[in-house]
Amino acid sequence: MADKLWFLIPEIWLFVGVVVVSVMGLSRRKMFRDLLPLVVCVFLVGAFIITPLLYSEQRISAAGLLMPMLGKYVKMLVCAIGVILTMLSVGLIDRDLEASMSAGRTRFDPIRVNRGEYFSFFMLSIIGVMLVCNANDLIWLFLALELTSLPTYIMVAISRPSRKAQEAAVKYFFLGAMSAAMFLYGFALLYGATGEIELTKLRDVFAAQAAAGGLNRVAIVGLILTVMGISFKMAVVPMHFYAADVYEGAASPVTAFLAFVPKTAGAVALILILSTVGWSGHYGNGAHGLPREILTALWIMAVLTMTLGNIGALLQRSAKRMLAYSSIAHSGYILIGLIAGPPHGLNAVLFYLLAYGVMNTAAFAVLASFERKGEEIESLADLAGLRHRYPVMAVAMALAAGSLIGFPPLLGFAGKLYLFIAGVDAGHIALIVIAGVNSAISAFYYLWLVGLPILAQSTPQSETVVARPVVWPRVAAIVTAIGVVILPLFAQSLLKASQAVTVERETTALDVTVAPDQPEQPTSP
């Protein structure tokens, strides 16, 4: 128990941050309120530094987690991207209120300021993702997933004072609650099929069942409900319907958050859940891969997700909506890694999360940097001819889009390459061919994001677009754009970092055979 608590130190530290931030947000002094993002960054950086110190060999072996090293990588990743996302959020909440307060027209009212709460939710959601990595039982997984999602619902609602944001919140919340009920029922069935809720024990029971002739029907249905329910967080078809509307309705910084944080939580949770059944192949001699039913389901989902995501993006005139669909498509690519399984598929997923986090945040950062008449920009036409007035931002957008296409040598290429290699290595060539075709389709719409800012001429409409008075979103865009270019040079070491995650479980989980002291031996008809 104590060993597990050690791993929770970053989360506890961030929770201290939540308290500090929410109290500071109530301060009468404007300076304190303006310092909030800085404080958030300090706490995130602190967690980033603490995390690697905690993962010592001895604690890892004592904790008995399913994938102990997962936490180290994912927590650091989320904290690092979290800092960027914080930059995006600077000056987003209470803009009008703060302006009127500083002009002296409105008196300070602690009830009306939301900034502290916003950043508390921001950090709570990040805590949620970090906790998902530590999950060793279904209860913990359920709670951590809820802690990831619930704050995001509110963040969407308060992200901007428009009806669109509230509509987005309604859709996100209600559909999210439905999906939560789905995977909860799945959890119940998993528990029913095994009698255990600890993931490591689930894994042992499943291995025993598999050795005795295949997984229980209850386990299969439970797994499908669980996987599809959780895939809501990743916006995987058919659980993707909310994505476009919600991403469009929320303010760009929050959209960037939604596209990364819950998606990471979903991917990590899926890794954990699928690890319990393992990729060791439950059917046939020496066959690799997930149980056939789960594999088929994931296959269908991956193909549909890539295809519908990409063709959905083609028609969009709104940059945010286009990025929403592209985010769906990227979830499809991530599913390839999940299908391929350890070690490469999972490493590739984790590496891709990093790549996706950086490049997608870069694209949203550019969108978040501009406004027109006090409203944030949405349509593609607003980006036309950006080069003339903001060349750096135009280049950042082009780099982000190029990387999202998977253009060598940018970051997205390395990520996609590794995913595809993993998929091919696992023998899913048809899937990779479909992914390749989709990747080609995606070039059509991403090239708009390259072409419009750089090649096109400004229009009267796009002339009215101006940079937001806050400089930080632009800094975030530049930092991530540089990351898109520079990080591929370190692809090797980053890959190593993500490889470390799954090294341990290869030897343990994959070779589990029927343990002699299994209390129950399900008989197969």
Partner 1 sequence: MMLAAIENLGSITLSHYIFTSALLFVIGLIGFVTRRNMIVMFLCTELMFQGAAIAMIAFGRFHLNASGQVFVIFILTVAAAEAALALALVVLLYRRRETLSAEVWSELKE
Partner 2 sequence: MASSIFYLACVLGIATAALYLLVRPGARALKLGATVVGLGALGWLVQQFVGMLGGDDPSDRPGVIFFIFSLIAVASAVRMITHSRPIYSALYFVMVVLSSAGLFLLLEAEFMAFALIIVYAGAILITYLFVLMLAQQAPGEDGTVQSPEYDRIPREPAAGVAVGFVMLALLSEMIFSGVSTELTEPPVAAAEVAAWRELEQMPGQLRRELIRVDPDLEESFPADQTPAKFSRIDEQGGIFTVGPLGSSGQTYEVSLPHSAMPQNIQRVGWALVHQYPASLELAGVILLMAMFGAVVLAQRQIELSDDEKLEAARAHQSARDAANGGDA
Partner 3 sequence: MLGSFAATILPIVVSSESAVVDVPVAQATDAFGWAALILWLPALSTVLCGLCAVMKVKSKLPGWITVGLLGTSFLLTLALFFSYEYENPVIIHALQWLNISWNGEGETVQFIANFALYVDSLTLLWMLFVTGLGTLIALYATEYMEVDVGKGYTRFFAGISVFLFAMSALVLGDNLVMLYLGWEGVGFASYWLIGYYYKKPSAVAAAKKAFIVNRIGDFGLALGIYFIWHNFGTVEYRVLFEALNAGGYSTETAGWSVRAIPYLLMLGAFGKSAQLPLYVWLPDAMEGPTPVSALIHAATMVTAGVYLIARMYPVMLLDEYALPIVAWIGGLTALLAATIGMAQYDIKRIFAYSTISQLGYMFLGLGVLTSFGAAYHVFTHAFFKAVLFLTAGAVMHGFAGQLDLRKVSGLRHMPGWRIVSWTMFYGCLCLAGFPLITNGFYSKDEIIAQAFITPGFGFVALGVIGLITALFTAYYAFRVWFRVCAGPVHFEPGDDHHNGEHGGGEFHPHAPRLVINLVLVVITIGAIASIFLGDWVLRGVGDSTAVYPSPHAEGDGFWANPHRWMPWVASAAGIGGILLAWYFHLANRSAAERMKNALLANGLTRWLPTAMENKWYVDELYHATVRAPLWILGHFLNLFDRYVVDMFLVDGIAKLPRALARTFQPLQNGILQSYAVSMAGGLALVAVLVVLMPQFVEWVRSVMGGAG
Measured distance CA(296)–CA(81) in Å, rounded = 33
Query: Least distance from C-beta 284 to partner 2, angstroms?
Result: 20
15 interacts with partner 1 by CB under 8 A: no
Of the residues 134, 136, 179, 403, which one makes contact with partner 3 according to CB under 8 A: 179
Closest CA to 105 of 97, 113, 94: 97
Query: Least distance from C-beta 176 to partner 1, angstroms?
Result: 9
Angle (CA) 410-400-392 rounded to 5° is: 110
Size of the site for partner 3 (CB under 8 A): 67
Q: What track of x and - describes contact with partner 1 for positions 170 through 189 (by CB under 8 A)?
A: xx-xx--xx-xxx-xx-xxx
- Chain positions 156 to 195 lying near partner 2, rule: CB under 8 A, are 157-158, 161, 189, 192-193, 195
Q: Which residues contact 299 (CB under 8 A, 6 or more apart)?
A: 339, 428, 431
Give CB contacts under 8 A, 24+ apart, made by 38-41: 39/119, 40/82, 40/86, 40/119, 40/122, 40/123, 41/83, 41/86, 41/87
Contact, 20 vs 37, CB < 8 A?
no
Judged by beta carbon, residue 178 or residue 440, the one nearer partner 1 is 178
Query: Least distance from C-beta 136 to partner 1, angstroms?
Result: 13
Q: Which residues contact 194 (CB under 8 A, 6 or more apart)?
A: 201, 202, 205, 206, 219
Judged by beta carbon, residue 467 or residue 485, the one nearer partner 2 is 467
**Which region among 44-52, 59-67, 167-175, 460-468 touches partner 3 (by CB under 8 A)?**
167-175
343 interacts with partner 3 by CB under 8 A: yes
161 interacts with partner 1 by CB under 8 A: no
Q: What is the four-CA torsion angle of 377, 381, 386, 387, rounded to 10 degrees?
A: 160
Contact, 210 vs 151, CB < 8 A?
no
188 interacts with partner 3 by CB under 8 A: no
478 interacts with partner 2 by CB under 8 A: yes
- Chain positions 114 to 143 lying near partner 1, rule: CB under 8 A, are 138-139, 142-143
Strand partners, 371: 376, 466
Cα end-to-end span (Å), the chain: 40
Contact, 89 vs 475, CB < 8 A?
no
Strand partners, 467: 370
Residue 181's binding partner, choosing from partner 2, partner 3, partner 1, none, with beta-carbon cut-off 5 to 8 A by kind?
A: partner 1
265 interacts with partner 2 by CB under 8 A: no
How far apart, in Å, are the Cα atoms of 269 and each of 13, 132, 193, 260, 313?
Answer: 23, 6, 19, 14, 27
103 interacts with partner 2 by CB under 8 A: yes
Q: In what order do the strands lie in the sheet with 370-372?
A: 375-376, 370-372, 466-467
Query: Least distance from C-beta 417 to partner 3, angstroms?
Result: 8
Is the dihedral angle over the CA atoms 482, 435, 353, 490 positive or is it negative?
A: negative
Of the residues 87, 223, 393, 476, which one makes contact with partner 2 according to CB under 8 A: 393
Contact, 495 vs 347, CB < 8 A?
yes
381 interacts with partner 3 by CB under 8 A: no
Closest CA to 71 of 502, 468, 436: 502
- Chain positions 281 to 320 lying near partner 3, rule: CB under 8 A, are 292-294, 296-297, 300-301, 308, 310-312, 314-315
184 interacts with partner 3 by CB under 8 A: no
Query: Least distance from C-beta 433 to partner 2, angstroms?
Result: 31
Which residues make up the interface to partner 1 (CB under 8 A)? 138-139, 142-143, 146, 150, 153-154, 157, 163-164, 166-171, 173-174, 177-178, 180-182, 184-185, 187-189, 191-192, 195-197, 244-245, 248-249, 315
Which residues make up the interface to partner 3 (CB under 8 A)? 170-171, 174-175, 178-179, 182, 217, 220-221, 224-225, 228-229, 232, 237-239, 241-242, 244-245, 292-294, 296-297, 300-301, 308, 310-312, 314-315, 343-344, 387, 391-392, 395, 402, 407-409, 413-414, 417-418, 421, 424-425, 436, 440-441, 443-444, 447, 451, 454-457, 489, 491-492, 495
